[in-house]
Structure 1
């Protein structure tokens, strides 16, 4: 176990921002068709050495197909995939310096934990003594030394996940591919394992590429995320950039919860843009690249950046609206309010429960004001 937090390491790791850095994995204009269906559509993407990279998207967006092409289980219809300077075209899966961990774990039920981990090493003809040493290293790495002789059915879901991980790492691949690796775990164990995977990836110095539809999982583990839709990459950025500065409506709507107001730009000058929304609100925003006056636009703001008050803010002419408390959800750490505006639009606001008791809380059907700061949201081109 490392004695140092990963925070400083992860904050300083950004090879994609260095023009002199060369990608470790490159997808170059890759297309994959299954008959008339295009699963991956002319996709180009770079991943760097030692990066924890996430492919995120809804089912059918092409993320698993992309992973399988990198592993060699599928071949591109067009384009090329380069790993560590070598074109992978024609290279069978067993000769690629990658290993893949499947969602089902695919453990051999009749083999013990140590034999499951050793399987690939035996297939490669590694000497017996080296296999024994390597298996012991992997058992120590995933903290399963006491379970070496058990069969998979004698383990918990989290322990089976660790066995599959150890087996994938035993051959010391250059890249570890993880296809929905935590999907079979319960919520609490999944959250614990996310941090364990991050620690493991950093200590081994490997490149991890994970496929997931779980936004929170990708946001927690990845250095960068590629959001995919219909076989294309829509945005590639760090978790913070994806969340706070989505480059389009799809990403804003797909990642986390968001309120989106549609409207028309009425002015844009001195770094400020004003929008007249269809809900009768005038929104003033700053710091965003704005389309010209008269054009359609959308404004996205996260629920935690929306204030809810009984009294109107100092200037209620912009970034504010009166409404009724329509729904309340108490989630422990926060309370979520749905405030219904006169137009019928529901605005979602998340308020942190910083104190154990709440005095005079908002109630159903109560008239309140929702408001937000100029720099709290992001302007999106419609």
Structure 2
């Protein structure tokens, strides 16, 4: 029987699944307070060598504070931080084997591209011949050879971003810290640069730690993601696991688009769980076994792309089917999103997303159409909180 995994990607690089594998970066019971405000609360986290790791969360969740403590710009109120087995307590930022790339890039406007890249190497008193070789290597890796003599104001936003990246990598730190590095780029350039970052990290075999509030960015570049909220870790897992198997309503709602159906446990067995939706005429038959008791309130999380939609009415008595009326339609070119009202309240809606695989559509679904929405028993996940 073919091996199954959550999501379409099965990565070969999975040191976190090896028992006893030593971490490269470790936060051990770390707390950071600013007066009465606790930015990071008793947090423990391990990151492995050569991992591309993402800290993901909304504004004020503590992700940047966590990175700044690793870089040495902030000091933990309590707890310890280790890098490659070394306790970083008391070590100033300039002596740590890490480098940080800031969102603002912080390039020297009066220096050329090559001089910006060489600056940190000169500060470390590297021999001039070695500096030249290292700068040439960085220019090649970041595809900036033809811009070496230009000043920052003569470059595009994407080119300035690559200069900042080259300068951060030139000193060959053990870990590169990326603080919202792509936030200033337009959408198309940001998507292109994400793949460039991944290729660069693979080529250099370095450890990258990125802080971002952009879910798509984290899902694209990272081997694993730590979702943070209010200074705490909510879930740490691979992108497919975060998306397909969230451990809470917060994660399900924060990552991507999701339907959260409030329901009561109607029946349980070794083969799965049957739920009854609270606000719609919908019986849910799932393959998931839950420890919630019969009658207990749970939420069924299902992604819109896993919901099928068709004109007509459902089969009487069918499970995982519900009648609806089209309330809104969004055409995005590659996909369409349909909101269908399925309950008495206008807020009781289900979203279905489908790919626009054909230019011409026969009998397209329209506003106010009666539709039936359906899904498979393994399409969603039961969440208790």
TM-score between the two structures when normalised by the length of structure 1 = 0.96
Deviations along 1:350-374, one digit per CA (max 9) or x if unpaired, are: 0111112111100100111111111
Rounded to whole Å, the distance in 2 between the matches of 1:316 and 1:27 is: 53
Rounded to whole Å, the distance in 1 between the matches of 2:58 and 2:316 is: 41
In the other structure, the counterpart of 2:378 is 375
Rounded to whole Å, the distance in 1 between the matches of 2:130 and 2:64 is: 34
Cα contact 2:24–2:84 (8 A) shared by 1: yes
The alpha-carbon deviation at position 343 of structure 1 amounts to 2.3
Q: Equivalences for 1:305-344 in 2 at 5 Å?
A: 305-314=306-315, 316-344=317-345
Q: Which runs of 5+ in 2 are unaligned?
A: 1-8
In the other structure, the counterpart of 2:353 is 350
SS in 1 for 2:11: helix
Runs of 4+ in 1 over 4 A off after TM superposition: 313-316
Confirm whether residue 101 of structure 1 aligns to residue 104 of structure 2.
no
Cα contact 2:314–2:322 (8 A) shared by 1: no
The alpha-carbon deviation at position 124 of structure 1 amounts to 0.6
In the other structure, the counterpart of 1:235 is 235
In the other structure, the counterpart of 1:27 is 27
The alpha-carbon deviation at position 314 of structure 1 amounts to 4.8
Rounded to whole Å, the distance in 1 between the matches of 2:145 and 2:316 is: 64
The alpha-carbon deviation at position 289 of structure 1 amounts to 3.0
TM-score between the two structures when normalised by the length of structure 2 = 0.95
The alpha-carbon deviation at position 291 of structure 1 amounts to 1.1
Rounded to whole Å, the distance in 1 between the matches of 2:209 and 2:44 is: 15
Going from structure 1 to structure 2, the CA distance change for 1:202 and 1:10 (only over 3 Å counts) comes to: farther
Confirm whether residue 287 of structure 1 aligns to residue 291 of structure 2.
no
Cα contact 1:268–1:290 (8 A) shared by 2: no
Deviations along 1:312-347, one digit per CA (max 9) or x if unpaired, are: 455653211111101011111111000011322111
Give the RMSD, CA atoms, in angstroms: 1.2
Rounded to whole Å, the distance in 2 between the matches of 1:165 and 1:316 is: 59
Deviations along 1:237-284, one digit per CA (max 9) or x if unpaired, are: 000000000011110010000000112111111231111221132212
Deviations along 1:95-123, one digit per CA (max 9) or x if unpaired, are: 00000000000001111101100110011
Q: Equivalences for 1:210-249 in 2 at 5 Å?
A: 210-249=210-249
SS in 2 for 1:12: coil
